[in-house]
Structure 1
């Protein structure tokens, strides 16, 4: 294991991989302690040190923080700090996680939620809303005091601006007391632009022959590199007791064998203890084979994109892949999981693998997340883009489909606060980020004019960050939305979750433009059906006596449904009774 590891004999073992260095010194209080080098380029030293000791490594003429530092109290450019994971006394030792099919996830940004301590105080509200899990956007240390987290450079160290190691563990402890699982986004495909010293003393960490949008690709073929990230995953799960990890953009990680090795390592460490640990992918390649192994699920971007086009009519950027027939694409996603299962995308590149054999719970379904809101030029949420009736109807599909639902912080009260892309860079880098952000949208309608693009918020401005803090709506509309949302989630927990474990999709019929009818078989053999119509016209939906309505949105659409009509701006959830059996009471 790399980094500073406190051993049982009271010493701390420091280890860093610096294959290009013949000598590395550990520096503590300006005193240098030579480290021993092995044949693989690992430099190691065991030393008795005080708790919370600050240290750096001297490699050649550079003094650098530990790339596996457990804490960076002075930021990513400062000294590292020794952390003893045994210092925190866990209170919820009986917690062993929850089955994946029970997950209802709220994605949150720790900074805009006020840090670990303030987020901890919000947990009862999130549990009362009906969530069973929260997912933290990345918390690895980054440059500055605000960032989405995907520019982290110290993957082992929770960012100091969010709070201490102890406050993070206390927050997780409190979540478990409330019955909430906690998922962490981890970024293993690149490092941020400030504070990454690895290229200077471990250039072998990267590949000169493969490039990503962030620069040279990380070389996961090297055992030291693979070990660095696998140990990181195990640290979050074992030392911090996270209940799951969501791996960001794994389509930029090669070879795939690394992903399989990481998942297998997690399963080996958790299975003997009976822990329920979730592993989730974000993967543009739609590699369905990974979901037949140790990974629980993948974020279903295909389903989101098709739903978004169907609701908004937008067709720029990656939405162009779903502009031709979004209704058919949504139907395919509900019936089979992925839309792209090997056919070429808009660039002519084949993408995806067949996914119809996978269970619905292999897919995380959502209408919004940090990317889909924050990567818009003006950061608008769907509450500002879509009619309330259509949005509610679509939320019924997300909430009550057998896929695993995910919501973005604030959806539980119909939040209208924007969520912008924000950083805290300065100087030349700040200028590059600001200009790059605006240039990214230069081909989008409404932003071809440079003066219009100049209105896109500066990611580095403090006002951009402040405007992204979700503002609670306590007016009548906000209170009503909260009750409505909580009712939907209660329905999911009562009727759907107990029968999801071996559910399967049966197909989805297109009823008309922006109207469809999806069917699943649940683990008890009953049929679960959802019809959606977000068009401007009513469509025919014959209904027989073997079904009963579980939920209809809006409620006044029930009379028309009894006449065999699915009104526009409506969603209905039905359960079909099997012959000789009774439906749940």
Structure 2
């Protein structure tokens, strides 16, 4: 691979520091109180560089811009004193990996558990997560997906306010602690994915505009000025970052947050370049490396295998439609974006089991009648990550409440039986595998005017909830709000143990019956009856078919009279009258 442009480089004789600062007149590297003038490079406009002979890993430094304030390296490898402290040089090659022969797992084996490092355990560290890995393997999880780690301000954050993209947040441990977590997961056969945010920087600690204002353009995002990916150095900053996580930390894949919020005239060329760079890395290292999108625009062209190489190889997209339709069906909520699923959520569930997205170009009421999505013809089931809960859909509620707070447990179990055995790769949100009731509210650690602005914004966004619950709505800035989100691994009651047994049993069936057959799966039929009797069928390899019959209602329903060929793998043979909230799976010849 081509060496990264950004960040410090260890050389044979010392350390080389570099910074792209096209608007600066002078840049100095401040090392142990001494200023080292950086030289403009002749071959790359806007770049400054300085070589420090005899320096080594562990060196800390800042950059001084035009004799003004000192700032961290935007490509800092580690910030031991948070975002405004000195940057530390890290020797990524010094770590001794134990899982030396790990090459990852193929995409069709993915069963995700999304995790927040700080809330996953009482300790909230990378190393503390290792103690729970055996539990996840025993449950049937094959991949953990970490919420963003890029260094953020303060001691607690969801991670989407990161400002130093290359530095894993010090709150959770050191870079080698993170590598140890990844290594230990690999030794257990677990893939590890990382959520990365390339659509904005957080509101505090981003100094790029001072010396590289061309990093941004005049377009606005929900989080401020948009990043300008038409600038080659800016594109390289994001692409190098993706390769940084995949090479130096050996993540098995990345989930790219909200790519619909990227502003790039003429399309999403940066995504194409990034995917090609990752494809080259995978080929050179013979690793399975996977890229997953979050894209509210439902652009099927980005995950359609037949598209040109410039739009590949994104393995899949999070299917928010799937969550939204199920949430409406299970809870009856129809406010906000749920209005698009209010009329007939069961019909949309059937459509997604038949072809992927619920919205494939249809008008969206929530978006003022604008069309949303692209047709999914030719896109395989494996390209749609399905889930009933995730950090967004739990955390972006006033109370951070999970489905367990409002939905019928039997209905949730039926939804899990459908989600965990369908050919689409499933994702669970940490604790969902045992029916956790722990909230996951929004939390952060800002101060002063920014903290007050966040409080005001939350009160406006969730005005009805504040009217209904008053002081019960958690303060997003309070440490107690963060503490309330931590999972209680040792306090699971009998009901939670039963839920965990159910999920474990479902994933055991997925491991033995679905995963060996799902690689070549394609969509087939799908329909829903007025009594909410659901039927779906997928074509598998070697002429086999996977068939689902389900009753997604609280009432007894009459079975759809279709020839059911094959052997039951879940629920037994479908009876003439389907019990409330029941699911039956059969594998057989077409």
TM over 0.5: yes
Q: Does 1:496 align with 2:502?
A: no
CA–CA separation in structure 1 for the residues paired with 2:119 and 2:458:
21
CA contact (8 A) 2:26 2:65 kept: yes
Deviation of residue 328 (structure 1)? 1.1
Deviates more, 1:418-427 or 1:180-189: 418-427
Q: Does 1:100 align with 2:103?
A: no
Q: Does 1:229 align with 2:246?
A: no
Deviation of residue 513 (structure 1)? 4.7
SS in 1 for 2:118: coil
- Corresponding residue for residue 307 of structure 2: none
- Corresponding residue for residue 168 of structure 2: 158
CA–CA separation in structure 1 for the residues paired with 2:557 and 2:345:
17
Runs of 4+ in 1 over 6 A off after TM superposition: none
Deviates more, 1:365-374 or 1:263-272: 263-272
Deviation of residue 530 (structure 1)? 1.5
SS in 1 for 2:132: helix
Deviation of residue 204 (structure 1)? 0.5
- Corresponding residue for residue 299 of structure 1: 318
1:185-237 Cα deviation digits (max 9, x unpaired):
000110111100011111110001x1100011000000000000100000100
Deviation of residue 539 (structure 1)? 2.1
Instruction: Pick the aligned partner of 1:267 from 272, 279, 302.
Output: 279
- Corresponding residue for residue 218 of structure 1: 227
Deviation of residue 545 (structure 1)? 5.9
- Corresponding residue for residue 553 of structure 2: 535
CA–CA separation in structure 2 for the residues paired with 1:100 and 1:10:
42
Instruction: Pick the aligned partner of 2:151 from 141, 151, 156.
Output: 141
Instruction: Pick the aligned partner of 1:433 from 450, 454, 476.
Output: 454
Instruction: Pick the aligned partner of 1:30 from 19, 28, 33.
Output: 33
- Corresponding residue for residue 83 of structure 1: 90
Deviation of residue 254 (structure 1)? 3.0
CA–CA separation in structure 1 for the residues paired with 2:38 and 2:166:
22
CA contact (8 A) 2:351 2:527 kept: no
The normalised TM-score by structure 2 is 0.93
Instruction: Pick the aligned partner of 1:183 from 179, 193, 201.
Output: 193
Instruction: Pick the aligned partner of 1:41 from 46, 49, 57.
Output: 46
CA–CA separation in structure 2 for the residues paired with 1:551 and 1:8:
58
> Residues 10-409 of structure 1: matches in 2 within 5 Å?
10-38=13-41, 40-48=45-53, 49-60=55-66, 61-113=68-120, 114-208=124-218, 210-255=219-264, 256-292=268-304, 293-346=312-365, 347-409=368-430
SS in 2 for 1:236: helix
Aligned length: 566
Deviates more, 1:37-46 or 1:274-283: 37-46
C-alpha spacing 1:439/1:513, structure 2 compared with 1 (3 Å): farther
SS in 2 for 1:532: strand
CA contact (8 A) 1:136 1:183 kept: yes
Deviation of residue 3 (structure 1)? 4.3
CA–CA separation in structure 2 for the residues paired with 1:119 and 1:337:
33
1:537-567 Cα deviation digits (max 9, x unpaired):
2222236462332112xx7xx6xx33x2222
Unpaired runs of 5+ residues, structure 1, are 579-585
CA contact (8 A) 2:113 2:430 kept: yes
C-alpha spacing 1:438/1:523, structure 2 compared with 1 (3 Å): farther
SS in 2 for 1:112: helix
CA RMSD of aligned residues (A): 1.5
Deviates more, 1:290-299 or 1:479-488: 479-488
C-alpha spacing 1:24/1:483, structure 2 compared with 1 (3 Å): same
Deviation of residue 452 (structure 1)? 3.8
Unpaired runs of 5+ residues, structure 2, are 305-311
CA contact (8 A) 2:531 2:557 kept: no
SS in 1 for 2:525: strand
Deviation of residue 454 (structure 1)? 4.7
> Residues 442-521 of structure 1: matches in 2 within 5 Å?
442=463, 444=464, 446-447=465-466, 449=467, 452=469, 454-472=471-489, 473-521=491-539
CA contact (8 A) 1:246 1:281 kept: yes
Deviates more, 1:193-202 or 1:33-42: 33-42
CA–CA separation in structure 2 for the residues paired with 1:458 and 1:301:
27
